[in-house]
């Protein structure tokens, strides 16, 4: 075929001597031949082009269908805090609930017509709560009146005055994980979107939406005319379908290539899917705002982000603002540029009125309304806690489940406790630096708050700048724990038959290790204290007595107790471990003390309550796990010893730092050269562990008592644990003993009542000095006591 023109040219050369008329015909023939040539080339090109176009269309078709019918939207796994329970008697103040409402993006206003609003008058809060689908049951939106008094919620009724037993606020969104595109949205079916918003969207963005097939020549022509007459790019001719295509599949580049693809894909989309399907996708896809790295997509999340209310409850003027934002989410951002946003909203409203979407009366009302947006929702960022959530997800869940779109992860985070911790720790460290004339920002710290009854992690901070992600000291800082390890030694001793009143020698001790090294622990004050009772050796944290006791009981037994307490780390088999010469993180310590606070029952510390798949429901949920590791009676004695630490031992300053009526139990920990200051303890159903030190492991002037304890006390003061204390086990008796551990009369001076396992109490009742002959001694403690005997 390609030889045809060549033959033609050769023929004309051979006839070069022909007459003029023939020459003219020849020229004409040449022209015809050239035209045919071009037509032929054009045909060839067209065929090739058509083939390429068809192939490309096939490709685009696959792209459109795959995304639209598969995972249409990028919906990250959304992570939520624990929900605040509201009930008469709840230990929360009006201020705390208000701060939580603000973090949740509730708006303070006198008009409580929409959910997501509240009004505070003195100690009364009126709230229109939001509905929320919790993993266990849905919580409806409702109007509540809450009365507070003395730091507690005392009364809760509906707006009609009907008592309400319990309600839950919606949980705080604390972040998103997997797959990490940054897009976020709340998926809504089209029937949950107000009709006025749908009609208004079409009126503003694409009036011929129901007439065109994806592209609108009329719209393009109108936009072109408008742009030409205004000498600028004032209008776009894109249909809603084209906008959706651009958002879902393409970039925002203003190139012909992109525009061509956009048009083709719009046609394909319209060919495959109904107008309603396209509209629903648009309502969930469109980009309308930004919060840091989080992209706000779709009207559902947009309503919550800008107004703190669900989409279906928005007023006309709020809907108009959302529609107006599509044109320029950044330029018309109502928080940053309220004037532009207001102008844009009003333009939208006038379009709606002209198009008959709203009546004149509605228009007038809407025009008179303010922007009505909520404060910027709390950009809750708890990197240390999220770090823990990620690790526990990786441990307990299958990867493919976690990569599913739209997971909801309910966690145990208590926002009030977390915010309190994030305030107290930096403030406490700064106060210590001031008190001890240290350079500012040289101390570091970490803390963790848990709920002993369930093992929930309520709050965690990995450093003095809790808002920064990075080295999470609460989980990863392995530091020597010092005397925090001592409960294990004393627990082993109690299991071996010792009592709290057993005298133990505090004389200097030397222990030779297997490799011949000599371990010679010394007391903190460098003095020996004779033969204190076991409970005193513990409460005063005597190292020599503890080392002797541990060696008497047996190293293997002590290590066994450490293991049962929940320390899963591999520890060096050396006696110095008994005095805490072992590196553990604050999280490990919290796990260890959790077993003590849990009455001898091990419960793994847990940050995740449930993981919910959008289609398959609850993938996994928290199940209360308890495993008895110690006899509750033995643990009761250790708890008593820890309580004595706070009464008369190294933590006795808690008596003035916290209300004396509180039952507290805890232990200080200090390591060599004061490199680490620790305090671990609990009260009722709240436990906290605090570590203070330096990242470079340099010495500090701080001990557990002076460094970590004040911060622990401040944490507890804010948590206000309800003061419930387990009853005394039936197999435990309380017996008065003297300083030598002998049972004496309750009337003796300096006697103390200590708990014993029944049958292990010191034998008989002796004189106040422990003499076997009461008649020869000073029973009664004084002449006036004897007088009344």
Instruction: Select the residue interacting with another protein from 452, 463, 649, 767 (CB under 8 A).
Output: 452
| Exposure string over 138-162, b if 16+ CB within 10 A, otherwise e | ebebebbbbbbeeebbeebeeeeee
Give the residue carrying structure tokens 């040539």. Answer: 37
Q: Which of 147/777 has CB closer to another protein? A: 147
The pattern of x and - marking residues 570 through 589 that bind another protein according to CB under 8 A reads --------------------
What one-character DSSP code corresponds to residue 630?
Answer: S
Alpha-carbon gap, residue 697 to 474, rounded angstroms: 16
Judged by beta carbon, residue 146 or residue 269, the one nearer another protein is 146
Q: Which of 155, 340, 531, 771 binds another protein (CB under 8 A)?
A: 155
Q: Which of residues 66-85 bind another protein (CB under 8 A)?
A: 85
3 backbone dihedrals φ, ψ, rounded to 5°: -85, -15
Query: Which of 350, 453 has the CB closer to another protein?
Result: 453
Query: Where in 676-715 is the site for another protein (CB under 8 A)?
Result: 684-685
Among residues 482 and 755, whose Cβ is nearest to another protein? Answer: 755
Per-residue DSSP letter, 466: T
Q: Are strands 77-80 and 408-411 parallel, antiparallel or unpaired?
A: parallel
Cβ–Cβ < 8 Å for 586, 459:
no
Q: Using the rule CB under 8 A, is 164 a contact of another protein?
A: yes
Residues 83-102 binding another protein (CB under 8 A) are 85, 87-89, 94
The torsion of the CA quartet 488, 492, 494, 500, rounded to 10 degrees, works out to -40
> Are 666 and 646 spatial neighbours (Cβ–Cβ below 8 Å)?
yes
Q: How far is the CB of 131 from another protein (least distance, A)?
A: 18
Smaller CB distance to another protein: residue 63 or 157? 157
Which of the ranges 142-150, 357-365, 389-397, 709-717 carries the binding residues for another protein, by CB under 8 A?
142-150
> What's the token pair of residue 507?
């004389």
Q: How far apart are CA 286 and CA 751, in angstroms?
A: 76
The closest alpha carbon to 95, from 422, 416, 382, belongs to 416
Q: Return the residue matching tokens 């490799």.
A: 515
516: left (phi over 0), alpha (psi -120 to 50) or beta: left
Shortest reach from residue 560's CB to another protein, in Å: 18
145 forms part of the interface with another protein (CB under 8 A): yes
Find the part of the chain contacting another protein (CB under 8 A) among 64-72, 135-143, 242-250, 378-386.
135-143
Give the distance from CA 671 to its chain's centroid: 32
Q: State the minimum distance, in angstroms, from the CB of residue 139 to another protein.
A: 12
Phi, psi (deg, nearest 5) at residue 701? -85, 15
Decide: 650 and 541 in contact? Cβ < 8 Å. Answer: yes
Q: What are the φ and ψ backbone dihedral angles of 236, each rounded to 5 degrees?
A: -110, 150
**Closer to another protein by Cβ: residue 252 or 730:** 730
Of 724, 750, 787, 788, which lies in the binding site for another protein, with binding defined by CB under 8 A? Answer: 724
9-17, 107-115, 131-139, 664-672 -> range binding another protein (CB under 8 A): 131-139
Q: How far is the CB of 446 from another protein (least distance, A)?
A: 25
Q: Which of residues 333-362 bind another protein (CB under 8 A)?
A: none
Active site residue 483: yes
- Verify binding: residue 331, another protein, rule CB under 8 A: no
Residues 280-319 that bind another protein (CB under 8 A): none
Among 43, 47, 48, 166, which residue interacts with another protein (rule: CB under 8 A)? 166
The residue among 83 and 553 lying less far from another protein, judged by its C-beta, is: 83
Residue ranges with strand state E in 98-170: 107-108, 117-121, 124-128, 132-133, 138-139, 143-149, 152-158, 167-168
> Residue 621 forms beta bridges with which residues?
610
How far apart are alpha carbons 762 and 55 in whole angstroms?
95
- Return the closest-CA partner of residue 302 out of 279, 319, 327: 319
Distance, in Å, from the CA atom of 384 to the CA atom of 477, rounded to the nearest integer, reads 12
Active-site option among 81, 295, 483, 684: 483
Which of 2, 10, 17, 165 contacts another protein by CB under 8 A?
A: 165
The reply to whether 110 sits near another protein by the rule CB under 8 A is no
- 139 is annotated as an active-site residue: no
Binding to another protein (CB under 8 A): which residues in 606-665? 618, 621-628, 632
Cβ proximity to another protein, 102 vs 603, nearer residue: 603
- Look at residue 413 and give its three-state secondary structure: coil
- CB nearer to another protein: give 83 or 278: 83
From the list 80, 148, 587, 679, which residue makes contact with another protein (rule: CB under 8 A)?
148
Among 57, 63, 141, 157, binds another protein (CB under 8 A): 157
The length of the chain, given as a count of residues: 789
Q: What is the 3-state secondary structure (H, E, C) of 281-314?
A: HHHHHCEEEEECCEEEEHHHHHHHHHHCCCHHHC
When binding is defined by CB under 8 A, the residue of 79, 156, 357, 389 that contacts another protein is 156
- One of 78, 246, 451, 588 touching another protein (CB under 8 A): 451
CA 255 to chain centre: 42
Nearer to another protein, 94 or 677 (CB): 94
Which residues of 235-373 form beta strands (DSSP E)? 287-291, 294-297
* Piece of 450-458, 466-474, 524-532, 708-716 that binds another protein (CB under 8 A): 450-458
Tell the smallest beta-carbon distance from residue 577 to another protein (Å).
Answer: 29
Residues of span 418-447 touching another protein by CB under 8 A: none
* Residue 539 contacts residue 645 (beta carbons within 8 Å): yes
**Cβ 458 vs Cβ 450: under 8 Å:** yes
Among 726, 746, 782, 786, binds another protein (CB under 8 A): 726
User: Annotated catalytic residue: which of 82, 139, 183, 205?
Assistant: 205
Site residues for another protein per CB under 8 A: 85, 87-89, 94, 121-124, 135-137, 145, 147-149, 154-157, 163-166, 451-454, 456, 598-601, 618, 621-628, 632, 684-685, 724, 726-727, 729-730
Instruction: List active site positions.
Output: 205, 483
């Amino acid at each position: 075929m390609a030889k045809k023109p060549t033959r033609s040219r050769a023929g004309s050369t051979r006839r070069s001597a022909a007459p003029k008329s023939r020459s003219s015909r020849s020229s004409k023939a040449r022209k015809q031949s050239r035209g045919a040539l071009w037509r032929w080339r054009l045909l060839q090109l067209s065929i090739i082009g058509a083939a390429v176009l068809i192939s490309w269309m096939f490709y685009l078709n696959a792209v459109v269908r795959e995304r639209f019918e598969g995972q249409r939207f990028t919906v990250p796994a959304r992570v939520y805090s624990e929900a605040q329970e509201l009930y008469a008697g709840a230990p929360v103040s009006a201020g705390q609930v208000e701060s939580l409402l603000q973090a949740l993006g509730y708006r303070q206003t006198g008009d409580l017509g929409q959910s997501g609003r509240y009004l505070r008058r003195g100690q009364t809060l009126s709230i229109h709560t939001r509905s929320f689908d919790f993993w266990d049951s849905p919580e409806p939106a409702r109007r509540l009146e809450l009365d507070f008094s003395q730091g507690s919620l005392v009364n809760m009724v509906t707006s009609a005055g009907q008592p309400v037993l319990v309600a839950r606020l919606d949980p705080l969104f604390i972040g998103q994980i997997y797959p990490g595109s940054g897009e976020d949205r709340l998926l809504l079916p089209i029937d949950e979107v107000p009709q006025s918003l749908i009609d208004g969207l079409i009126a503003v963005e694409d009036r011929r939406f129901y007439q065109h097939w994806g592209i609108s020549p009329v719209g393009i022509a109108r936009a072109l005319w408008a742009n030409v007459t205004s000498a600028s790019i004032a209008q776009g001719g894109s249909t809603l379908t084209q906008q959706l295509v651009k958002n879902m599949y393409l970039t925002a580049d203003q190139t012909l290539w992109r525009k061509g693809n956009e048009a083709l894909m719009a046609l394909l989309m319209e060919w495959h899917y109904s107008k309603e399907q396209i509209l629903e996708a648009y309502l969930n896809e469109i980009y309308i705002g930004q919060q840091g790295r989080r992209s706000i997509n779709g009207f559902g999340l947009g309503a919550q982000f800008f107004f703190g209310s669900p989409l279906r409850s928005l007023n006309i003027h709020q809907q108009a603002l959302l529609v107006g934002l599509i044109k320029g989410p950044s330029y018309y951002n109502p928080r940053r540029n309220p004037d532009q946003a207001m102008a844009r909203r009003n333009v939208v409203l006038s379009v709606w009125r002209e198009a008959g979407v709203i009546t004149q009366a509605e228009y007038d009302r809407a025009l008179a309304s303010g922007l009505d947006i909520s404060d910027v929702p709390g950009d809750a960022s708890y990197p240390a806690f999220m770090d823990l959530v990620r690790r526990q997800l990786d441990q307990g869940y299958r990867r493919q489940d976690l990569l599913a779109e739209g997971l909801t992860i309910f966690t145990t985070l208590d926002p009030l406790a977390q915010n309190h911790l994030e305030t107290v720790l930096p403030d406490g460290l700064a106060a210590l630096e001031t008190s001890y004339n240290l350079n500012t920002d040289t101390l570091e710290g970490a803390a963790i708050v848990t709920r002993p009854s369930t093992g929930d992690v309520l709050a965690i901070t990995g450093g003095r700048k809790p808002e920064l992600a990075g080295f999470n000291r609460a989980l990863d800082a392995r530091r020597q724990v010092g005397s925090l390890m001592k409960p294990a030694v004393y627990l082993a001793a109690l299991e071996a038959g010792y009592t709290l009143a057993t005298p133990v020698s505090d004389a200097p001790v030397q222990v030779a290790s297997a490799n011949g090294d000599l371990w010679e622990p010394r007391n903190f004050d460098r003095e020996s204290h004779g033969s204190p009772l076991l409970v005193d050796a513990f409460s005063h944290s005597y190292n020599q007595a503890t080392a002797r006791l541990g060696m008497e009981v047996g190293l293997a037994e002590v290590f066994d107790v450490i293991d049962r307490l929940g320390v899963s780390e591999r520890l060096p088999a050396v006696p110095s471990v008994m005095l805490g010469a072992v590196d553990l993180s604050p999280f490990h310590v919290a796990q260890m003390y959790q077993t003590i606070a849990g009455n001898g029952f091990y419960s793994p510390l847990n940050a995740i309550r449930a993981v919910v798949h959008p289609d398959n429901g609850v993938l996994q949920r928290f199940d209360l796990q308890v495993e008895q590791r110690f006899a509750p009676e033995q643990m009761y004695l250790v708890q008593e010893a820890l309580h004595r630490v706070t009464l008369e031992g190294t933590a006795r300053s808690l008596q003035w730092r916290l209300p004396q009526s509180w039952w507290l139990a805890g232990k200080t920990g200090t390591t060599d050269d004061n490199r680490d200051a620790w305090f671990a303890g609990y009260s009722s159903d709240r436990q906290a562990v605090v570590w203070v030190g330096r990242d470079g492991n340099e010495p500090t002037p701080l001990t557990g008592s002076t460094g970590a304890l004040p911060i622990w006390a401040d944490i507890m003061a804010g948590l206000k644990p309800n003061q419930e204390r387990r009853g005394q086990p039936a197999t435990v008796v309380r017996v008065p003993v003297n300083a030598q551990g002998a049972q004496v009369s309750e009337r003796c001076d300096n006697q103390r009542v200590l708990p014993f396992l029944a049958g292990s109490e010191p034998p008989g009742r002796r004189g106040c000095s422990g003499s076997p002959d009461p008649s020869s001694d000073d029973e009664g403690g004084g002449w006036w006591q004897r007088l009344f005997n």
